[in-house]
Structure 1
Amino acid sequence: MINPFAAARLPVVLQTEATECGLACLVMIARYYGHDIDLNSLRKTAAVSLKGASLKQVMTTAGSLHLSSRPLRVELDQLHKLHMPAILHWDLNHFIVLKKIKNGKVHFIDPGRGLRVMSLEKVSDHFSGVALELTPAADFNLLKDRLKPKLSDLWQKMIGLKRAAFQTLLLSLILQFIALASPFYLQLVVDRAINPNDPKILLVFLLGFGALAIIRAGAEAVRGWAILVYGNQMSFQMIGNIVRHLLRLPTSWFEKRHVGDIISRIGSARPIQEALTESVVAILLDGVMALFTLAIMVMYSPKLAALVFGMTALLAVLNLLLYPHLRRTEEEAIITKAIENTHVIESIRASTTIKLFGREAAREAAWRNLFADTINAQTTHGKYLVAQKFLETLLIGLQMVLAVYLGAQLILGESSFATIGMLFAFLGYQRHFTDSATRFLKEGIKFRLLSLHLDRLADIVYEQSEDAQEDSENAISNPAKKGDAGGNIDVDNVSFRYSDNDPFVLKNLDLHIKAGSLVAITGASGGGKTTLMKLLLGLYAPTSGSIKIDGQNLNEFGRANWRAHIGVVMQDDQLLSGTIADNISFFDPQVDLQKVYRAADAAQIHDEIVAIPMNYLSMVGDMGSVLSGGQKQRVLLARALYHDPKVLFLDEGTANLDVETEKKIADVLDDMKITRIVVAHRQELISRADHVFRIEKL
């Protein structure tokens, strides 16, 4: 049975992968109707390839969620007739969710950028005319099937957090109780020193409360230092764990994401670290101290205490009303900034290409548009922060004015307050209460906003690493020791496609490679040669069939163990920032220079390196170096040979070399008696092959 009140609002779900806008739209609509599913869970059952998803595939996935689909061809002036929320086809390569149309404005959620509002005239520039209505089917059920990231999943793995929190809490308690003495000091000075005109007692008060001020300053300094030290330690541990896990994720995970977005997600660890070292303590402490101070105010004057509490409660309600807007706009600001950063990084990396094609102005214009989106998103978020600050300042100011007015009336009426000093003390406690209460509210809102950062980090930390995806028990219980790999490889009836909705790239392949042989893989461009290499390297897992190393399944052999026996040069390999020696040894902390020289000599690059003024200490990197394209490729080959591999994979690994140099390298590799698997189009390597395996495009 469908609950018509299942969802009060259409949630905003932003895509994580570059091509999963369709899945994100389905998650939003499913949640709207009461099926509370998360994007990560849906992705596991309905993965989308790098090519994206068609409308038919979106409808198929919607059916798995028990949503009935109705595809329509719609004119712009008929959009308002759609059953909303509905999915619209956008820019011929994207899907969005239409939320509502009001006063000639179209309100929609773009999975790539968040909630947007656009005029009908502007929508016409993007809308392709295809829409998809989705409604709950007869067998639709209300489910809670969403994986919600927990903060405890992060702090349980960090050392020293409890100790840091305890020390910070203890020092904060000392500071708070010292601060509570200040209003009492005002009362004593006014009532016991000024009115009786007693300078001696005033001096005593001065010395006593002056000592407390010194203690407070010392405690504040120690507390600040503790937060700084432990905060940095927590940040080092947390971000270190995240990056460690990130580097062990499958290649396919990186292929579906933008670099700017990945960096932005890592940055989400900083607010969490600050929350664990500061916000948790502040929430606990300020909540307790607000109640304690409220109790003191009640003893002074229940009426004024009720006024102060009522105004603060109103502020809390208004903050809760602002929270959904703060969360949404902060997420949109983060996303737009990540998109802008990706554009800048890509432009920097492709700076030479941009210059050669004369596209500087076009790239600048595109960046300005993205930067404008970033500024607009930050401005929208800032608008709600300004509103929050305005309400806080207004209510606290009115609270103080009313408290002074009513307090003075109480003194004149000879009621609760017997002295002016008591009024001063109450106002001091009132200030302390409002400070604690507003800090509690701010930190509480900040703490709730952590769900945004947790959701962003979840895309990294909850993704299975390569080690977790393979049968690690077999790899551990029956490992092949380093050096035992003989180089025999069997590909048995292997098929592969990127997702269940994509056509097969490779189908029913059988390939048997003997140790020490040279196998050339040929075929038309786009036929799957590089995909086969990635399967052999363990970067992809076969959709069906098996790959065996010396008769042992690759998963059982272990991907990391397999890669310890191989050397690889891929088409898109990069040098990293460092010296040539660093790159050949791949930054081996115990580099063997003799092996570096030997590998460089085998790759026919040694003589050219020593001719450079700084020879092996010359700096290179991915953005530029002293090396030509052919020299760079030979350095990459030397890197592949440095660890004396049993199997060498070359994906067009000699394509940039002249025929004579390629022949010399081939002669050296023949003498090494190692297994060589090469993807090649040129005859120098193909003619030497013991077996040529041609892949026909499906």
Structure 2
Amino acid sequence: MDVTEVINWGWRKRLPLIRQTESAECGMACLAMIAGWHGYRVDLPTLRARFNVSQLGMTFSQLMSCAEQLHLSGRAVQLELEELHLLAVPCILYCDMNHFTVLKRVRGQRLELHDPARGAVTMSLREANRHFTGVAMELTPTHQFAVKDQRKKIRLFDLIGKTQGLKSALGRIFCFALALEVFALIGPLINQLVIDEVLVALDASLLTLIVIAMLLMAATQTLLELARQWATLTMAVNFNMQWTANVFHHLLRLPISWFEARNMGDISAKFDAVDTIQDTLTTTLLEAFLDVLLVVGTLTMMFFYSAKLTLVALAAALVYGLLRLFWFSTLRKAADDSWVAGTQESSHFLESLRGVLSLRVNGALTPRESVWRNLNVARRNAQLHESKLMMVYGIMQTVIGSVVGAAVLWLGASAVLAGQFSVGMLVAYMSFQGRFSSSINGLIDKLVAYRMLDVYNQRLADIVLAAREDAASQAAGGANGPSATCVWPSDRPALSLEQVSFKYAGTEREILSQVSLQIMPGEVLALVGASGCGKTTLAKLVLGLYPPTAGVIRTLGIEHRQGDYQQVRQHIGVVLQEDQLFRGSIAENMTFFSSRVDQQKLGECARLAQLEQDIEKLPMGYQTLIGEMGGTLSAGQKQRLLLARALYKQPQLLILDEATSHLDVNNETLIGQTLRQLGLPILLIAHRPETIATADRVIELAAGRIRTLSV
């Protein structure tokens, strides 16, 4: 563990600040903070693996139950705002009827809070009155509570993954840097030679030789520096391309539940953290390596000239390093606040763009804009605070540099007057000292920047270290499914569920309870029920998007607990309520941007989805461009395009979740007749009687169980 994480310069125990990663884990973050204050250092991934927390959040009783498992005794307290000073802090406050936060201390009329969503916050009692619900929880360790550290160490190499060509590029850069270091050390010696030998002896011929040598050195040094920068640039670009590709590959294969627990702006910001980390690793740290060479080389030469003067320069560097270490936590918090403020503004911005139609027709533009302005101001203030800290560090460096420069000049000039130094030696030494100070200060700044990467490492780790959806099947070597061209036997169920149950993590209510059903080849099964009863959840279980809590699901002969979900999905055509179109042409959306397009099949699928005539009326036909949200198409056209996309796969099983809810009765009837002629097994989730009437069998889902309505 790094010294910057261990040193506590205060006299009291330090309450850690832990930000929530998921949108509904504020309670878990509060428990982690208070446990850390008492000595049990734990992070959110560890607690997340230990406790199943619902995406809907935690109740007060669930929070107390989790605290008991951490050997923290909880006491619920109901009190007025003016009585908060009577609480044993740190404690948990329940705010806004949906959020937990940690009360750090009460100072007069102000509260100091560690908010998992907003960070360290100080607010007045008057402001807190708008949020505090009057309920708090005090937590005290039991006799079983143990002081320990169970935080998962985030190693940078785990985040980077496999990259190619990095070692060879670093080797070339090292050679260039070493050569540049030699030239950097020769420069001051040449200055000394000119002053002590050329000027004293009035040797013009020697001066000419030295100038020629300096010009050759400058040319060589320029070429080496150009080569080093080019090698660094190409390495940075290649490294960034490989790393971002690896992260994006991993991101797309995370479980759907991972995305449902986070907002898009937060995910985007975490992905962008790759650029910041990569820039620090490939540029800042390489420059730091060059600084190390310069520090070692110049320090050696300085000791050769004068140990006393060198100790002065070392003392100045030590002072600057201690100052940066002393204020490291302040700078880290400022960077963390700036990052969080930026993600909150970005999330609000993206959400506003997606919902601009709803905002406009409901006259909600002004209040929405007002919220964005507040978030934007919060972001600018956080960035300004971070910039002010960096400005202070720059001023400190300038002041220390001026003082040490004056001290070295005074002591060095005194040595010249005493006959211990020549003028050339003083000039050379001051040149070495200037380079040393610049390099050592730069090295300290770069080491701080490296330690600051922890702000971004933790965010990126939420993506990179999360388990992929296909992790289990990869470990098992996958499963053998049906071939792309095989016809499923008519006497075997295309889909079967045996005593399947499901409930969301952290909840007791079962969405599905011991559900058993079969769909035979060519059968159309309609699943009906009240909204929210679990019909879409059942479809997602069949698709392997959620794992069942009990029971067995077989799709085309593959048992889900052992199978490769991706392989199963290759043979399922699906239209879900959340399905999206992408920016591109109609043909590209229908074929999912396949490089090989079967024009005959494209037209056939459009005909089956009753979309062919609509496409023919468009100026560009199948090449008509649509927006990422399908803005140029009507709601019914979007649904028919999604259906055509599902049929283009030539599936062996079709799952339609309200896939025709926006269609007119005539088109819906035609599509229903066409689909029946295909002879595909179809799971049809619907509410409309016209849709249900096309089914061979109707099953109702209610209270987590199913019953047959008609055959």
Short-chain TM bin: over 0.9
How far does the alpha carbon of each residue in 1:92-133 deviate from its partner, in whole angstroms, 9 at most, with x for none? 211111112235322111111211111222111111111111
The residue aligned with 1:458 is: 461
The residue aligned with 2:68 is: 63
AA aligned opposite 1:557: G
Q: CA RMSD in A?
A: 1.8
The residue aligned with 2:3 is: none
Whether 2:610 is the aligned partner of 1:604: answer yes
Aligned mate of 1:512, from 518, 527, 547: 518
The residue aligned with 1:617 is: 623
Asked whether the equivalents of residues 272 and 450 of structure 1 are also in contact (C-alpha less than 8 Å), the reply is: yes
Asked whether the equivalents of residues 25 and 111 of structure 1 are also in contact (C-alpha less than 8 Å), the reply is: yes
- CA distance in structure 2 between the partners assigned to 1:583 and 1:395 by the alignment: 62
Structure 2 CA distance for partners of 1:616 and 1:494, relative to 1, 3 Å: same
User: Does the residue aligned with 1:539 lie in a helix, a strand or coil?
Assistant: coil
Whether 2:89 is the aligned partner of 1:84: answer yes
The residue aligned with 1:580 is: 586
How far does the alpha carbon of each residue in 1:611-635 deviate from its partner, in whole angstroms, 9 at most, with x for none? 1000100001234532111111100
AA aligned opposite 2:685: V
Whether 2:426 is the aligned partner of 1:420: answer no
The residue aligned with 2:709 is: none
- CA distance in structure 2 between the partners assigned to 1:276 and 1:471 by the alignment: 31
Shift in Å, 1:274: 2.0
- CA distance in structure 2 between the partners assigned to 1:502 and 1:264 by the alignment: 34
User: Does the residue aligned with 2:330 lie in a helix, a strand or coil?
Assistant: helix
Moved more, 592-601 or 237-246: 592-601
The residue aligned with 1:667 is: 673
- CA distance in structure 2 between the partners assigned to 1:432 and 1:625 by the alignment: 60
The residue aligned with 1:434 is: 437
AA aligned opposite 1:450: L
Shift in Å, 1:238: 0.6
The residue aligned with 1:570 is: 576
AA aligned opposite 1:195: V
Shift in Å, 1:159: 0.9
Whether 2:189 is the aligned partner of 1:184: answer yes
Whether 2:357 is the aligned partner of 1:352: answer yes
Structure 2 CA distance for partners of 1:649 and 1:553, relative to 1, 3 Å: same
Asked whether the equivalents of residues 57 and 501 of structure 1 are also in contact (C-alpha less than 8 Å), the reply is: no
- CA distance in structure 1 between the partners assigned to 2:607 and 2:561 by the alignment: 35
How far does the alpha carbon of each residue in 1:388-445 deviate from its partner, in whole angstroms, 9 at most, with x for none? 1121111111111111112111212223x1x111111011000111111012111111
The residue aligned with 2:471 is: 468
Percentage identity across paired residues of the two chains: 37
Shift in Å, 1:7: 8.9
Asked whether the equivalents of residues 505 and 527 of structure 1 are also in contact (C-alpha less than 8 Å), the reply is: yes
- CA distance in structure 2 between the partners assigned to 1:384 and 1:187 by the alignment: 40
Shift in Å, 1:144: 2.3
- CA distance in structure 2 between the partners assigned to 1:639 and 1:608 by the alignment: 15
- CA distance in structure 1 between the partners assigned to 2:11 and 2:610 by the alignment: 69
Asked whether the equivalents of residues 519 and 525 of structure 2 are also in contact (C-alpha less than 8 Å), the reply is: yes
The residue aligned with 2:253 is: 248
Gaps of 5+ in 2: 1-7, 705-711
Shift in Å, 1:490: 1.2
How far does the alpha carbon of each residue in 1:347-392 deviate from its partner, in whole angstroms, 9 at most, with x for none? 1111111110111111110000111111121122222212211211
The residue aligned with 2:112 is: 107
- CA distance in structure 1 between the partners assigned to 2:678 and 2:172 by the alignment: 62
- CA distance in structure 1 between the partners assigned to 2:162 and 2:37 by the alignment: 35
AA aligned opposite 1:427: M
Please show how residues 68-467 of structure 1 align to structure 2 within 5 Å.
68-155=73-160, 157-415=162-420, 417=421, 419-467=422-470
Structure 2 CA distance for partners of 1:682 and 1:479, relative to 1, 3 Å: closer
Aligned mate of 1:482, from 456, 471, 484: 484
Asked whether the equivalents of residues 32 and 43 of structure 2 are also in contact (C-alpha less than 8 Å), the reply is: yes
How far does the alpha carbon of each residue in 1:313-347 deviate from its partner, in whole angstroms, 9 at most, with x for none? 11011111121112121111111101100111111
Shift in Å, 1:565: 0.4
Moved more, 6-15 or 594-603: 6-15
User: Does the residue aligned with 1:88 lie in a helix, a strand or coil?
Assistant: strand
Aligned mate of 1:557, from 540, 544, 563: 563
The residue aligned with 1:592 is: 598
How far does the alpha carbon of each residue in 1:141-162 deviate from its partner, in whole angstroms, 9 at most, with x for none? 1222111210122445111111
- CA distance in structure 1 between the partners assigned to 2:522 and 2:417 by the alignment: 104
Please show how residues 633-648 of structure 1 align to structure 2 within 5 Å.
633-648=639-654
- CA distance in structure 1 between the partners assigned to 2:180 and 2:107 by the alignment: 53
Task: Normalising by structure 1, report the TM-score.
Answer: 0.96
Shift in Å, 1:457: 0.9
User: Does the residue aligned with 2:428 lie in a helix, a strand or coil?
Assistant: helix
Asked whether the equivalents of residues 556 and 568 of structure 2 are also in contact (C-alpha less than 8 Å), the reply is: no
Task: Normalising by structure 2, report the TM-score.
Answer: 0.94
Aligned mate of 1:20, from 19, 25, 34: 25
Aligned residues: 692
